[in-house]
Amino acid sequence: MSYKIPMGPYHPALEEPYKLDLICTGETVTDAKLHIGFNFRGIEHLAETRNYIQVIALMERVCGICSNIHTLTLCQAMEGLTGLTPPPRAQYIRVVMAELERLHSHVLWAGIAAKLMGFKTMFMTCFELREKVMDVLQAISGNRVNYSMNRIGGVNRDIEDPIALLGMIDVLEREMVKKVIPIFTTSSTARSRCAGIGVLTHEKAISCGTVGPVARASGVGQDIRKAAPYAAYAEMDFEVPVQPDGDVKARLLVRALEIMESCKILRQALTKMPPGELASGGDKFTFVTGTATSRVEAPRGEVMYSVSWKEGARNPARVHVRTPTFATMPAIRWMVLGARLADTPLIQASIDPCYSCTDR
Amino acid sequence: MNMTTALARLLIFPGLLFAVPAAWFFLWVERKAVAMMQGRIGPPFMQPFYDFIKLLGKGTPPRSGIGGMLMRAWPLIAVASAAGAVGLLPVLPSSGGFQGDLILLLALMELPSMCIIAAGFSSRSIFGEIGSAREAVLSVSYNIVFLLAIVSIAASQHTFSLEALAQLPASPLRVLGILALLVCLPAKLHLNPFSLPNAEQEIYSGPMTEYAGPELAMWELSHGLEWVAATGLVATLAAPVITTWWLAALVFVALSFGIVLLLSVVASATARLQIDTTVRFYWQCTLIFAVLAVASALFMRFRS
């Protein structure tokens, strides 16, 4: 006999309001339906009522985890409309902020994944480590969540002593290698919860249009940082980790390896940071009529902004945001088919969903 | 055992007067130990007591009909049977007992789990029903091992009296039996890696989802008493023979405390397993272990 079990919109396994209706037979899931839209805030409409300075502060609040990525993408799109190019030092600072954000987002996800396996000790370990990343972010920007680092044509704040931050990066990397990665890969209870569950095949990953770590864990080696480098990524030497298996363990491994690559990029960006200006252009900007798009590799995958402007206007005519979760979300249905009920919270979380950004 | 000693054991030591504070203490030790291993501060010493009092002061939703009556009855039956189980433990030397009290103890220890299963189904919540189904499957898996382990110790000694068992000298078979019992305890007490019936990330608190107020307080109490009974059973079997009564009580408490700490360490170092992995674990690994214990017990018995 099959029955429907609602998961959400308020559920201990979900950080955000969304709903997964699971049709189960016994403990096996036979179908799933995902409902979003519980957190609609109308930010895209609100953006049309804000001027070019205010809109950056507004878009920073689309997501509480990847706040920097949203302003970075928006600023890049607006730079396309104003014809400004950020100076090299600003490009490097943008890379540092983006990678630190990736670090803290991935560590946060590892913690949540551990919690969903019922592994609360690991959750606490991950969140302790995340605090250290937040400390670095605070040391640079003075803020823990909304960093307000990006502006049109550059960044707002300088990293005065980049070399001093290297020690903090070393600590992060050591803790990752010593604690988090070994526990996830060697703990037999953790392994039994991850290996072979929530499989998304290579073909399905492509046909669902998944992005980011979910796609890379299904063997789709795409990364905007490599494919269409922005900021100073063209000058960085790093690998894009790809795993062929497509299960939760592969997604976990891809993110773990990305953390290591992020540390590598951070070290390069901090040591090679060129001297110079923080921003080009003054305080007043003139926009041309048209639409500019910008794509950035957020921790969860590709974020795309499309910004339209009319010449002489202070406010944008349209700001459209496409978040990575929007692209990855449909894959959940294929992942949970045939899975056990106990695995579904972990499977749906393995795409690292951020429905608040998706709802905007 | 005459009426006075029976009442004293049920109501004073190791019964209610001792067991209820001990239950709160063990719940606190478990929470505090797990918290400290996770780098948290953990609850203050009196927290389980405060929780209990606070829950007692809250209201419960009105429930009508047989279903409502049953829902109110299950936690009370669970508390009563768990308290009875604690009262039967032969903690003090020459405290009396009767032939076959081991069987009564096992039955009483099993009742709270039966009540949980029934409570989940009578609450008619989907989460409660799934939790109950899990508890039932879990109970079928670990109980065979649990019973076989006890039976192996009892069979080797020709007795089903707890008092007689507790006073026997340690033997390798007894160690084997105690180990098998220890493996069953996390499942019996719903701890990681077998915390399936109350897996909050999947089914909220399972069978307890629809409970609130004093009824939930009773569940918490019965859970605490189960802690005392289960760790106490292992402690009495593992404790050396001591004739001084206060020393015996002290050793009992110390051993129970050690077992609580051990269980907390296991709980904080593991993730939750799935139901089929758990069932396979108990049926494959531990069942073999328990069957070996029974076989060797019978072998010893026929040789002697």
Burial of B30 (0-12, 13-18, 19+ CB in 10 A): buried
Query: Which 3 state secondary structure label does DSSP give A31?
Result: strand
Q: Please indicate whether, in this complex, the C-beta atoms of A125 and B39 are within 8 angstroms of each other.
A: yes
- Burial letters for B12-21: b for 16+ Cβ neighbours within 10 Å, e otherwise? ebbbbebbbe
Q: Please indicate whether, in this complex, the C-beta atoms of B38 and A124 are within 8 angstroms of each other.
A: yes
The C-alpha of A236 sits at a distance from chain B's nearest C-alpha, in angstroms, of 37
Q: What is the pLDDT of residues A26-73, one digit of tens each?
A: 778 888 888 888 888 888 899 889 888 889 999 888 888 888 899 999
The C-alpha of A105 sits at a distance from chain B's nearest C-alpha, in angstroms, of 21
Looking at residue B74, its pLDDT comes to 92
- Indicate whether A187 pLDDT > 80: no
Please give the residue range of the domain that contains residue A165. 40-335
Q: Please indicate whether, in this complex, the C-beta atoms of A128 and B126 are within 8 angstroms of each other.
A: no
Closest residue in A to B199 (Cα–Cα): A118
Distances from the Cα of A56 to the Cα of A40, A75, A142, B101, angstroms: 19, 7, 18, 74
**Least trusted range by pLDDT, from A283-297, B54-68, B196-210, B254-268:** B196-210
Looking at residue B43, its pLDDT comes to 93
Q: Is B29 on the interface with A (CB under 8 A)?
A: no
Q: Please indicate whether, in this complex, the C-beta atoms of A124 and B39 are within 8 angstroms of each other.
A: yes
Q: What is the pLDDT of residues A232-271, one digit of tens each?
A: 888 888 888 888 888 888 888 888 888 888 888 988 888 8
Q: Please indicate whether, in this complex, the C-beta atoms of B275 and A342 are within 8 angstroms of each other.
A: yes
Q: How many CB pairs under 8 A join A and B?
A: 77
Q: Is residue A111 a contact partner of residue A126, using CB atoms and an 8 Å limit? A: yes
Instruction: Report CA torsion sign: B121, B123, B129, B131.
Output: negative
Looking at residue B94, its pLDDT comes to 60
Q: What is the pLDDT of residues A120-154, one digit of tens each?
A: 888 888 888 888 888 888 888 888 888 888 888 88
Q: What is the pLDDT of residues B5-43, one digit of tens each?
A: 778 777 777 778 888 888 899 889 989 988 988 888 999
Looking at residue B283, its pLDDT comes to 82
Find the length of chain B: 304
Q: Is B205 on the interface with A (CB under 8 A)?
A: no
Map tokens 């497509």 to a residue: A246
Distances from the Cα of A9 to the Cα of A6, B203, B250, B281, angstroms: 8, 14, 50, 34
The C-alpha of A304 sits at a distance from chain B's nearest C-alpha, in angstroms, of 32
- Residues from chain B that touch A192, judged by Cβ atoms under 8 A, are 273-274, 277
First to last CA, chain A: 38
**B271: nearest CB among A13, A119, A125:** A119
- Indicate whether B100 pLDDT > 70: yes
The C-alpha of A101 sits at a distance from chain B's nearest C-alpha, in angstroms, of 24
Confidence label for B1 from pLDDT (cuts 50, 70 and 90): low
Assigned domain for A349 exists? no
Closest residue in B to A192 (Cα–Cα): B273
- Residues from chain B that touch A128, judged by Cβ atoms under 8 A, are 39
- Indicate whether B291 pLDDT > 80: no
**B201: nearest CB among A5, A118, A124:** A118
Q: Please indicate whether, in this complex, the C-beta atoms of B200 and A341 are within 8 angstroms of each other.
A: no
Residues 34-93 of B with CB under 8 A from A: 34, 37-40
Q: What is the mean pLDDT of residues A270-290?
A: 83
Q: Please indicate whether, in this complex, the C-beta atoms of B196 and A342 are within 8 angstroms of each other.
A: yes
Q: Is B2 on the interface with A (CB under 8 A)?
A: no
- Indicate whether B93 pLDDT > 70: no
Q: Is A10 on the interface with B (CB under 8 A)?
A: no
Assigned domain for A360 exists? no
Assigned domain for A357 exists? no
Q: Is A342 on the interface with B (CB under 8 A)?
A: yes
Confidence label for B96 from pLDDT (cuts 50, 70 and 90): low
Q: Is B200 on the interface with A (CB under 8 A)?
A: yes
Instruction: List, in sequence order, every beta strand (DSSP E) within A203-245.
Output: none
Say how far residue B39 (Cα) sits from the centre of its chain.
Answer: 27
Q: What is the mean pLDDT of residues A207-211?
A: 88
Q: Could you tell me which of A125, A244, A259, A132 has the C-alpha nearest to residue A190? A: A125
Q: What does pLDDT average to over chain A? A: 85
Please give the residue range of the domain that contains residue B16. 3-303
Q: In a mutagenesis test of the A interface, which of B40, B192, B272, B285 is the best target, namely the one with the most A β-carbons within 10 Å?
A: B272
Q: Please indicate whether, in this complex, the C-beta atoms of A117 and B195 are within 8 angstroms of each other.
A: no
DSSP assignments along B42-91, one per residue: ---TTHHHHHHHHHHTS------HHHHHHHHHHHHHHHHHHHHHHHH---
Confidence label for B304 from pLDDT (cuts 50, 70 and 90): low
- Residues from chain A that touch B128, judged by Cβ atoms under 8 A, are none
Total domains present in chain B:
1
Looking at residue A71, its pLDDT comes to 92
Rounded distance, CA A32 to CA B233, Å? Answer: 45
Give yes or no for a cis peptide into A345 (omega within 30° of 0). Answer: no
Which ipTM was obtained for this model?
Answer: 0.76
Q: What does pLDDT average to over chain B? A: 84
Q: Please indicate whether, in this complex, the C-beta atoms of B130 and A5 are within 8 angstroms of each other.
A: yes
β-pair type (A290-298, A301-309): antiparallel
The C-alpha of B266 sits at a distance from chain A's nearest C-alpha, in angstroms, of 11
Q: What is the mean pLDDT of residues A322-333?
A: 87
Closest residue in B to A2 (Cα–Cα): B126
Q: Is B192 on the interface with A (CB under 8 A)?
A: yes
Reading the block at residue A274, the tokens are: 């060129």
Phi then psi for residue A298, to 5 deg, are -80, 170
Distances from the Cα of B153 to the Cα of B87, B149, B163, angstroms: 21, 7, 13
Q: At what angle do helices A88-116 and A120-141 cross, to 10 degrees?
A: 160
Q: In a mutagenesis test of the B interface, which of A27, A186, A191, A249 is the best target, namely the one with the most B β-carbons within 10 Å?
A: A27
Q: Is residue A46 a contact partner of residue A57, using CB atoms and an 8 Å limit? A: no
Residues 96-115 of A with CB under 8 A from B: 114-115
Looking at residue A13, its pLDDT comes to 67
Q: Please indicate whether, in this complex, the C-beta atoms of A12 and B201 are within 8 angstroms of each other.
A: yes
Residues 222-281 of A with CB under 8 A from B: none
CATH number at residue A224: 1.10.645.10
**Least trusted range by pLDDT, from B46-55, B117-126, B209-218, B269-278:** B269-278
Closest residue in B to A193 (Cα–Cα): B273
Burial of B65 (0-12, 13-18, 19+ CB in 10 A): exposed
What does the DSSP 8-state code read for residue B274? P
Q: Is A85 on the interface with B (CB under 8 A)?
A: no
Q: Is B204 on the interface with A (CB under 8 A)?
A: yes
Burial of A148 (0-12, 13-18, 19+ CB in 10 A): middle
Looking at residue B49, its pLDDT comes to 92
Q: Please indicate whether, in this complex, the C-beta atoms of A344 and B202 are within 8 angstroms of each other.
A: yes
Total domains present in chain A:
1
- Residues from chain B that touch A13, judged by Cβ atoms under 8 A, are 200-202
